[in-house]
């Protein structure tokens, strides 16, 4: 896996843990949702690209 992909997965995990611990206001929840879904979309694109480049049965 690429470093960018691993870094984004770590960011998503940190955001998720923050969400679990301290959602107090609508604004924080809104910001979380926007950032989370934007990063999730980017993560999906990176994973799709990673799967396209991996050819496990080519020698």
Three-state SS string across the chain, please? CCHHHHHHHHHHHHHHHHHHHCCCCHHHHHHHHHHHHHHHHHHHHHHHHHHHHCCCCCC
Q: Is residue 57 part of a domain?
A: no
Output the pLDDT for position 2.
78
For the chain, residues with pLDDT lower than 50 are none
- Please give the structure tokens belonging to residue 12: 């998503």
**Tens digit of pLDDT for each residue in 40-50?**
898 889 888 88
Number of domains in the chain: 1
Q: Is residue 14 part of a domain?
A: yes
> The domain containing residue 15 runs over which residues?
3-52
Output the pLDDT for position 3.
83
Q: Is residue 44 part of a domain?
A: yes
């Amino acid at each position: 896996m690429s470093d960018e992909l691993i870094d984004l997965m770590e960011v998503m995990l940190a955001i998720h843990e923050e969400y679990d611990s301290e959602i107090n206001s609508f604004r924080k929840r809104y910001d979380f949702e926007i950032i989370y879904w934007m990063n999730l979309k980017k993560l999906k694109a990176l994973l799709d690209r990673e799967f396209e480049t991996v050819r496990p049965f080519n020698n």
